[in-house]
Amino acid sequence: MNWSISSGALPPGLALDPAAGSITGTPTATGTYSFTVTASDAAGSGHQPYTMTIASAPGGLTYTITPSVIPNGVVGTAYSVQLACSTGTSGGTMVFPADHILNTAIDTAPLLSNSDAMIAQMVADNTAAGQPNVTVHPGFEMPTNIGVFPMQNISFNDAGDSDAGPYPIPANPQVEGGTDGHMLVRATDTNKLYEIYLFQMPPAVSGCGAIWDLNGYDLRTLWETSTDGAGLPVFPLLIRYDEFANGVIPHALRVTVKSVRNYGNYGGVPLDPGLPTTPPATWPARHRFNTTDTNPNEPSAGERFRLKASFDDSALSPETRVITACLKKYGCIVADGGGSVLFGLQGDTNPAWLGATPPSPSGTTYDSLTDKLVTELRNVPVTAFEVVDGVTNYIISSNSGQAKQPQAPASK
C-alpha cells in the first residue's frame, strides 16, 4: 500500500510516511489545514479528506508576588504577613492575584454542618425532575477573545447592573451559542476582563456588561448581578486549555446547579450600612437567582463544593485527573442555576481540545480531549463531593475578593 497527500498540504513540520501511512513530526505553525490522503495499490485507490487545526503552544509563565504593599511593623509587636506567588497564563499575566478567593486552595476548609444534607437535597431535586443519576457534566462551549481590540461604546437593557464602558469589541467576536450569548474579552494591554451577556454588535443593545480589573480584588456591588446569576466573573472560573496543558488548574471552577436558596453567608462580616444583614449570596458572590426558596439545604449562589480527597480517580486518564485534582484542591463555586443540567462545569473552546488523545487506562479510545473528559467526568457522581465553608476562615472584607491564605501545618 502506498500513501500520499493528493490535495492540500499537511501543517508545516508534519510528514506522511508513504509506506506506513503514519503522520508524524512537530508542528511549527498555527492554523487550520485541509488535505486529502490517498491510499493506493495495484488494485486501485481510495481517498479521505481531513482538516487539522494546530493551536498555539502554551506560553511561558510570569511570576507575580502579592500583595504589592505590606503593612508596617511596630517595635515589640509580633509581625506576620502572608505572601503569595501567582503564575500567570492566558497571555502571560495573572487572572486575579494569587490571594484572591477564587485562586485560594480550600482543600483544608471545614465542612458545613449540613454538607451531607445539601448533597442529598441536590440529588432529590434532580430525581424529582426525572434525572436521578447526578454526575459531573462538563461542557466546552464558552469562547474567549484575548488580545487588544478597538474600544466602542455599548448600550445595555440592564443599564443599572452594567458597567458603562467603553468595551473592546473584536471585528469578528467569538460569542457563546445558545440563549445566553456571552461575549468575553480579555484585554492583554490592560489585563482587564470585559464580559457581556446577550451580546449584540453595536449599535444594537446588549443585555448587560461587567468590567473586571484582573490585577485587583474588586467585587460587584452587593445585590448587583454581572453577566452571571451569582454576580461572579465567567472567564476566571473556566477550564481553560492553556492552564490544562501545563498540568495544573490553579483556581476554582464555575458550576451550575438546578435549585438555590435565596440567602447566603458572609461569615458574620458586616455588610455596608443600609443593606439587609442577610446577604443574598455566599461570599464572594453578590447576587441571587430568581428564587424565594429558604430551604437551608439548597446551595446558595457562591456555595463552594469540593471533590472528596478520598475519591479514587486512579482509573481515570491523566488528562481527566488534571480536573479532578483541581476539584479536590480548589473546588467549584455555584455561579448560576435553574437550568436543566445539575452540576455543570464549563470550559473554553480552544481548538486544541479537539486534538486526538491517547487511550484511557481502560483502553478506551476517544476522538478528542473533550470526548475523553466529558465521558470520564460523567462517571464522577455528585455524592463524591462535599460542601465546605469557604468563607469564615478566608474573608477579610465583604467588599473584597482578597482572602486570608491557609497556613501550612507546623513542622515537628
Same domain, 281 and 142: yes
Same domain, 215 and 123: yes
Residues 6+ apart with CB under 8 A from 294: 261, 262, 263
For the chain, the maximum distance between any two Cα atoms, rounded to a whole number of angstroms, is 92
State the total domains in the chain.
2
Q: What is the pLDDT of residue 87?
A: 43
Q: What is the pLDDT of residue 217?
A: 96
Domain holding 214, by residue range, is: 101-388
- Residue (of 145, 155, 169) closest to 206 by Cα position: 155
Same domain, 296 and 233: yes
Same domain, 340 and 237: yes
- Residue (of 345, 49, 325, 101) closest to 218 by Cα position: 101
Query: DSSP 3-state assignment of 245?
Result: helix
Does the reported pTM lie above 0.75?
A: yes
Burial of 347 (0-12, 13-18, 19+ CB in 10 A): buried
Same domain, 30 and 172: no
Q: What is the pLDDT of residue 357?
A: 73
Q: Chunked in runs of 10, what are the mean pLDDT values of the chain (412 residues)?
A: 89 87 82 84 86 59 51 72 47 78 96 96 82 83 93 94 94 92 94 96 94 95 92 97 90 92 94 88 92 92 97 92 96 85 88 78 82 93 96 96 79 49
Alpha carbon distance 138, 155 (integer Å): 32
Q: Is residue 402 part of a domain?
A: no
Q: Is residue 250 part of a domain?
A: yes
Length of the chain in terms of residues written: 412
The phi, psi pair for 130, rounded to 5°, reads 85, 15
Q: Find out whether 224 and 161 touch, Cβ atoms under 8 Å.
A: yes
Q: Three cell numbers at 271?
A: 455588610
Q: How many CB atoms lie within 10 A of CB 215?
A: 16
Query: DSSP 3-state assignment of 159?
Result: helix
Q: What is the pLDDT of residue 3?
A: 87
